Amino acid sequence: MTFKSKHIRLFSPATVANVSCGFDVLGFCLDSVGDEMLVKTSSEKGIRITKIEGFDLPYETERNVAGVAALALYEDAKPEIGFEIEIYKHIKPGSGIGSSAASAAGSVFALNQLLGNPYNLTELTAFAMKGEAIASQCEHADNIAPALFGGFTLVKSIAPLKVLELPTPNALYAVVLHPQIEIKTSESRAILPKTVALNHAITQWSNVGSLVHALHTNDYDLLSSSLNDVIVEPYRSKLIPHFDAVKLAAIEAGALGCGISGSGPSIFSLCKGEASANQVKEQIQNKYASTGIEFELHLSKINAEGVKIIDN
């Protein structure tokens, strides 16, 4: 019997975690920003990373985020075959838009497809979290969940893992500024206080509840007024050069809200409609061009689908 290799090529999206008010629980998925991955079945058992383009990342399966995530699924499924993974990385590691989550989500999604979809999206999220853990030293799902489920997600709990798929208003666009500076995840974690004022916490959970209601009711004004972060942004924004100026420019240009994407340094804005998003993008472009800091600027519809198959 000769082995007939199958393959899948997919787009694994960048994601925005926290979404201002929802630190550690909310996230949404981008559409035009992400990695490509090509995964092939092999008659030789095991998981091998056979190509990495774009950024310098480890080839050893156990040290690579996509590799570790794939291994978690592989060791559970115990298939008679192996897999070879090629990663075409477009999302810079450390950008704050879910670079490692894209790698982890993409590899488990691909393996699941090639094995005939034995796992549901929550199970895939759990496997992908094992990969994410080697990048962030702890298991998170706030980027992986939107990458796999698409749209807006709320990670209700990690143990047991429970992901809620929130509705995604159709006219919602994101603008993401990525200043080309590095903030260590350890630093952006260390800067956070261990305790918060009760009245600030109340404001935050009022905003989380309001944001979920706004998504269900297509209420863009309510969404806008819910996109506030009185807990994390006051600390982390200090690590991002010109954060306040960018936020002001975005809001003045008509953004519904603007905040730190994940642990930064990327800054996201949410906008109603593509025209508004273009205006916001232009104003941020003008503002950041004068800082002397290199940057990338993305405009993207919210991706309601998550990881997408390009061909198989």
Nearer to its own copies, 1 or 198 (CB): 198
**Nearest distance, CB of residue 231 and its own copies, angstroms:** 7
Q: What does the block give as tokens for 91?
A: 């999302």
**Nearest distance, CB of residue 192 and its own copies, angstroms:** 7
**Nearest distance, CB of residue 203 and its own copies, angstroms:** 8
Q: Strand 172-179's sheet: what is its strand order? A: 257-260, 267-272, 172-179, 295-301
Nearer to its own copies, 39 or 155 (CB): 155
Catalytic residue among 86, 185, 282, 296: 185
Residues that bind its own copies (CB under 8 A): 21-26, 154-157, 162, 164, 166, 192-198, 201-202, 204-213, 216, 222, 225-226, 231
Q: What is the CA radius of gyration of the chain?
A: 19
**Nearest distance, CB of residue 196 and its own copies, angstroms:** 5
Nearer to its own copies, 81 or 164 (CB): 164
Torsion (CA) 237, 35, 127, 159 in degrees, nearest 10? 20
Q: Note if 185 is an active site residue.
A: yes
The residue type found at 143 is: N
Asked whether 8 and 309 are in contact (CB, 8 A), the reply is: yes
Catalytic residue among 132, 153, 168, 233: 132
Question: Distance (Å, rounded) from C-alpha 109 to C-alpha 195?
Answer: 37
Nearer to its own copies, 25 or 240 (CB): 25
Question: Distance (Å, rounded) from C-alpha 184 to C-alpha 83?
Answer: 32
Strand 46-53 and strand 82-88: the pairing is parallel
Q: Note if 132 is an active site residue.
A: yes
Strand 26-42 and strand 295-301: the pairing is unpaired
Catalytic positions: 132, 185
